[in-house]
A and B are shown apart, each in its own frame.
Chain A
């Protein structure tokens, strides 16, 4: 046994040893390549493996009134979540949670199914929990392993007012919303985004910045704690927005418009700041803070009174006689018209083959231009407007800001309509309309359509002889400059003194607006706009001068009848309220 000699040669040994070292050399070289040469790449890869970036919600900025009163606030609600893999006896726990927070247990499990994204991801069970509900759950913490809650700031409205059309609504960012955004990387699903009104226009200021927390996760995606070298950043709350609104005035005019349909705008004539704005009917803004029920939403959307329509921006109305001052200005500026010209009004006027009537069917008799303004006589204007071309009148409308955006600082504004020759040619054909159209337009009927916010701007321009700034809702450092109508001083004088007479004259259509407050001078114009939807819209526009301050008021009551009878008394109430509540000190 074991007799056979070893016949291995030194050469064979060298070959085997050489091959062995070669293999080990290859392996060491490969490690050198991965660990030294490609270190950066793999290092980054290992980090992205283990680090999960989680962001925390930033509370939206508050919306305040001009005196610092909070109009839109955040309410700390809680979102209840569960980590599925930590959760045992789901049904039992959902049942328990439901009874504690007073919800249907179906709602909880439905939500669980809807938001489930994996065993280790927090899954939403319920939203809008109050601190009280959460603390009741906290008492039974021991039975609720795997159930967590997160703070979720939600919009709420602590003041007495609604302001639904001013503030607008916020919306939960879902997949569709997120895809429609240009800056979608700044939003996460479940975030709130301003969807209309100030919330939308000032979204970039209000939204704040999310906080970032870096969690270390294991291969199963479970969070194990913070990453040591990466500092978390706290969420940065959004900036507060100070509006030009006055809480008391807004509350007062919202009260007036309860059960009415239309618009009230109250503003400061010079600066264009809006003190109050109501579009009625409106909706309860609280409805949109949390999850809105399908039925409630449909109810609001299908309501024939259109509560979602922001009437002062998006309602296009025939202005009626409130724009007679525009015609007046056009006559004085564009045509060679003597304001002392007398015309006779007998209640109707034949033009071509059509008979045009005055609102006062018995006729006003002999009138000059001032008399025609005070009595709001239509016949006088039918006759006087013969001195004008349509385009001249249209130009004057545009100088007063009609037919274009007022650039108010909430989105959705419509332009209204100022018909000129081109428009009429396009609409009716070059030879199919006559100067008769001018007769309608000069008294604010026919094709011309305005928005109440344009009317407010127009009113402010009248009150300030063209020096008013554009109407706006948020306090700004640089007031938005208007395009100033270039009228002669005499024209301004005449327009303004006529508007004063409308209030003070015995026959003045606006005399119901006179508040009889010593030191307060009220100027105004009424309007009764015929329309296709039933009774006439009642208009009153006017301003009160008191100690160098001008308070402008625009009132529009849809289908309410005569402006002088219905709208003017409301203006009086508002002027009285301004006086009584010591709001005469604005500067």
Chain B
């Protein structure tokens, strides 16, 4: 790593950097195991592909690290617009595998612009929340940030890519919380989701309605406002079955598969079963590198990205998994710590946004491989193969490293 000034090296949050490099190396070790029998072209081999993508990723990370903080702040809205355009571009091309996720750039690989939009959205949101010395206790101040997030999210949903859309929404709550929004307002943001989820179960919905009424009563908003909030949520809940029917069948399937994995043994549930079998059969120390039968005999699907943790669980065992998850937890909490220590609000918000993206990726990916949530095509940061997301992760790493140093600029 080339550093601008020797004085800064001491200030550099070195644990974050080492954690990221450690996770990247673990990822390469696992990818090498998957790739050892692959006889395809250079780009068919996930290991060499990942190595190749690491070059632009590291370069971008360094570039970002050298970019002045004010520059990032100044152009964050412009970047946001650029991101929106990038995300719309694939819609002009022919759909690939029924989706508009990928962008051809005249290279032997494609790019997934929605990955980069995650960063643009975080910086734009951070700028809005830090520039306007908002009275975050007011509910109306929350509206524009929500629009900022929902705009790209809705486009991504149209691709369609439910997983990425969920990740897009994830940072808004922690960032609003960081910016001083009241607990009650955040609760009101989450309330519709609960209303919809509980609507399918009478007892759950009744309990939720009572809880909702109680919290509104304790928080004492204006009387009319309270009524609107309460009944708005109740009606939303009542309408959710209608909304459910509006979902695409594959989305419904993914959700239903979680409830009863036995229903669809060769579809999404098959993947969960094979993933759990791979992980479970690995035991404490695993079957050995390159010796996972589930992996090497291809029982495990999408093993280089979505199910890479299953490969690790099978071949390297529980100890390796626990170490990786612990390191990632440490990495995330370190970012949170520097976010808390940051002097200016913009840096702090960007960092909590990045931390949220990292954590939600890890949580969704990992919970999926062990059958806790439905199958979502989300990669594991630094470890899964996938050029666009690797580059995105390293850009976020660069941002975090840059912004965690308080004395520059």
Q: Tell me, in angstroms, the Cα distance from A374 to B177 when the chains sit together.
A: 125
A45 touches B277 (CB 8 A): yes
B280 touches A6 (CB 8 A): no
Q: How far is the CB of A24 from chain B (nearest CB, A)?
A: 4
A39 touches B280 (CB 8 A): yes
- Which residue on chain B has the smallest CB distance to residue A48? B277
Q: Tell me, in angstroms, the Cα distance from A8 to B367 when the chains sit together.
A: 29
A532 contacts the other chain (CB 8 A): no
| Contact partners of A28 in chain B: CB under 8 A | 321-322, 325-326
A49 contacts the other chain (CB 8 A): yes
- Give which listed residue, A1, A4, A6, A42, contacts B276 with CB less than 8 A: A42
Q: Tell me, in angstroms, the Cα distance from A36 to B15 when the chains sit together.
A: 30
Which of B177, B326, B340, B359 has the most CB atoms of chain A within a 10 A radius of its CB? B340
A34 contacts the other chain (CB 8 A): yes
Q: How far is the CB of A7 from chain B (nearest CB, A)?
A: 6
A17 touches B337 (CB 8 A): yes
A16 contacts the other chain (CB 8 A): yes
| Contact partners of B337 in chain A: CB under 8 A | 13, 17
B352 contacts the other chain (CB 8 A): yes
| Contact partners of A430 in chain B: CB under 8 A | none
A34 touches B333 (CB 8 A): no
Q: How large is the interface on A (under 10, 10 to 19, 20 to 34, 35 or more residues)?
A: 35 or more
Hey, what's the 0/1 contact readout for A21-45 against B, CB within 8 Å counting as 1?
A: 1011011101110111011011101
Stretch of A211-219, A477-485, A495-503 lying at the B interface: A211-219
B336 contacts the other chain (CB 8 A): yes
B372 contacts the other chain (CB 8 A): yes
B137 contacts the other chain (CB 8 A): no
| Contact partners of B281 in chain A: CB under 8 A | 39, 42-43, 45-47
A2 contacts the other chain (CB 8 A): yes
| Contact partners of A224 in chain B: CB under 8 A | 297
| Contact partners of B277 in chain A: CB under 8 A | 42, 45-46, 49
B318 touches A46 (CB 8 A): no
Stretch of B51-59, B193-201, B341-349 lying at the A interface: B341-349
Known: A2-B344, A6-B343, A50-B297. A31 touches B279 (CB 8 A): yes
A35 touches B279 (CB 8 A): yes
A42 touches B297 (CB 8 A): no
A6 touches B345 (CB 8 A): yes
B178 touches A31 (CB 8 A): no
Stretch of B67-75, B242-250, B391-399 lying at the A interface: B67-75
Q: Tell me, in angstroms, the Cα distance from A438 to B252 when the chains sit together.
A: 88
| Contact partners of A31 in chain B: CB under 8 A | 279, 313, 318, 321-322, 325, 370
Q: How far is the CB of B142 from chain A (nearest CB, A)?
A: 16
Q: Tell me, in angstroms, the Cα distance from A8 to B313 when the chains sit together.
A: 37
| Contact partners of A7 in chain B: CB under 8 A | 179-180, 345
Q: Tell me, in angstroms, the Cα distance from A20 to B130 when the chains sit together.
A: 24
A6 touches B344 (CB 8 A): yes
B-contacting residues, A31-86, CB 8 Å: 31-32, 34-36, 38-39, 41-43, 45-47, 49-50
B297 touches A27 (CB 8 A): no
| Contact partners of B343 in chain A: CB under 8 A | 5-6
A34 touches B348 (CB 8 A): no
| Contact partners of B370 in chain A: CB under 8 A | 27, 30-31, 34
Q: Tell me, in angstroms, the Cα distance from A50 to B293 when the chains sit together.
A: 7
A42 touches B346 (CB 8 A): no
A2 touches B318 (CB 8 A): no
A586 contacts the other chain (CB 8 A): no
A431 contacts the other chain (CB 8 A): no
| Contact partners of B180 in chain A: CB under 8 A | 7
Hey, what's the 0/1 contact readout for B268-293 against A, CB within 8 Å counting as 1?
A: 00000010111111111000000001
A-contacting residues, B338-385, CB 8 Å: 339-340, 342-348, 352, 355, 359, 362-363, 366-367, 370, 372
| Contact partners of A23 in chain B: CB under 8 A | 359, 363
| Contact partners of A49 in chain B: CB under 8 A | 274, 277, 293-294, 297, 299
| Contact partners of B336 in chain A: CB under 8 A | 13, 16-17, 20
B299 touches A219 (CB 8 A): yes
| Contact partners of A2 in chain B: CB under 8 A | 69-70, 73, 130, 344, 346-347
| Contact partners of A259 in chain B: CB under 8 A | none
B318 touches A6 (CB 8 A): no
Q: Tell me, in angstroms, the Cα distance from A5 to B177 when the chains sit together.
A: 15
Q: How far is the CB of B91 from chain A (nearest CB, A)?
A: 34
B47 contacts the other chain (CB 8 A): no
B8 contacts the other chain (CB 8 A): no
Known: A7-B345, A8-B339, A35-B282. A20 touches B333 (CB 8 A): yes
- Which residue on chain A has the smallest CB distance to residue B332? A20
A12 touches B178 (CB 8 A): yes
- Give which listed residue, B298, B314, B332, B340, contacts A8 with CB less than 8 A: B340
- Which residue on chain A has the smallest CB distance to residue B285? A35
Hey, what's the 0/1 contact readout for A518-530 against B, CB within 8 Å counting as 1?
A: 0000000000000
Q: Tell me, in angstroms, the Cα distance from A20 to B73 when the chains sit together.
A: 27
| Contact partners of A216 in chain B: CB under 8 A | 293, 297
A6 touches B325 (CB 8 A): no
Hey, what's the 0/1 contact readout for B299-326 against A, CB within 8 Å counting as 1?
A: 1000000000000011001100110011
B145 contacts the other chain (CB 8 A): no
- Which residue on chain A has the smallest CB distance to residue B283? A39
| Contact partners of A4 in chain B: CB under 8 A | 130-131, 133, 344-346
B192 contacts the other chain (CB 8 A): no
Q: How far is the CB of A5 from chain B (nearest CB, A)?
A: 6
- Which residue on chain B has the smallest CB distance to residue A15? B177
Q: Tell me, in angstroms, the Cα distance from A26 to B372 when the chains sit together.
A: 10
A27 touches B344 (CB 8 A): no
Known: A27-B366, A42-B276. A12 touches B299 (CB 8 A): no
B329 touches A24 (CB 8 A): yes
| Contact partners of A12 in chain B: CB under 8 A | 177-178, 340
A-contacting residues, B156-179, CB 8 Å: 174, 177-179
A-contacting residues, B88-118, CB 8 Å: none
Q: Tell me, in angstroms, the Cα distance from A220 to B355 when the chains sit together.
A: 40
Which of A13, A27, A41 has the most CB atoms of chain B within a 10 A radius of its CB? A27
Q: How far is the CB of B343 from chain A (nearest CB, A)?
A: 6
Q: Tell me, in angstroms, the Cα distance from A118 to B113 when the chains sit together.
A: 42
B328 contacts the other chain (CB 8 A): yes
Q: Tell me, in angstroms, the Cα distance from A217 to B283 when the chains sit together.
A: 22
B280 touches A218 (CB 8 A): no
B325 touches A5 (CB 8 A): no
Q: How far is the CB of A35 from chain B (nearest CB, A)?
A: 4
- Which residue on chain A has the smallest CB distance to residue B409? A2
| Contact partners of A50 in chain B: CB under 8 A | 293-294, 297, 299
- Give which listed residue, A20, A42, A218, contacts B279 with CB less than 8 A: A42
B280 touches A43 (CB 8 A): yes
B332 touches A6 (CB 8 A): no
Known: A1-B73, A12-B178, A16-B336. A42 touches B325 (CB 8 A): no
- Give which listed residue, A5, A17, A39, contacts B344 with CB less than 8 A: A5
B346 touches A24 (CB 8 A): no
Which of B130, B133, B313, B342 has the most CB atoms of chain A within a 10 A radius of its CB? B130
Q: Tell me, in angstroms, the Cα distance from A10 to B336 when the chains sit together.
A: 11
Q: How far is the CB of A283 from chain B (nearest CB, A)?
A: 50
Known: A2-B130, A35-B282. A24 touches B344 (CB 8 A): no
Q: How far is the CB of B279 from chain A (nearest CB, A)?
A: 5
B298 touches A35 (CB 8 A): no
Q: Tell me, in angstroms, the Cα distance from A217 to B340 when the chains sit together.
A: 53
Known: A8-B178, A12-B178, A34-B370. A43 touches B293 (CB 8 A): no
Which positions in A face B, CB cutoff 8 Å?
1-8, 10, 12-13, 16-17, 20-21, 23-24, 26-28, 30-32, 34-36, 38-39, 41-43, 45-47, 49-50, 216-220, 224
The 4 closest A-B pairs by CB, nearest first: A42-B280, A46-B281, A24-B329, A13-B340
Q: Can you identify 6 A-B contacts, CB atoms within 8 angstroms?
A: A2-B73, A6-B343, A31-B318, A31-B370, A35-B284, A47-B281
- Can you add 11 more A-B contacts, CB < 8 Å, to A1-B74, A50-B299? A4-B345, A6-B343, A13-B336, A13-B340, A16-B355, A27-B370, A30-B367, A31-B370, A39-B280, A216-B293, A220-B298
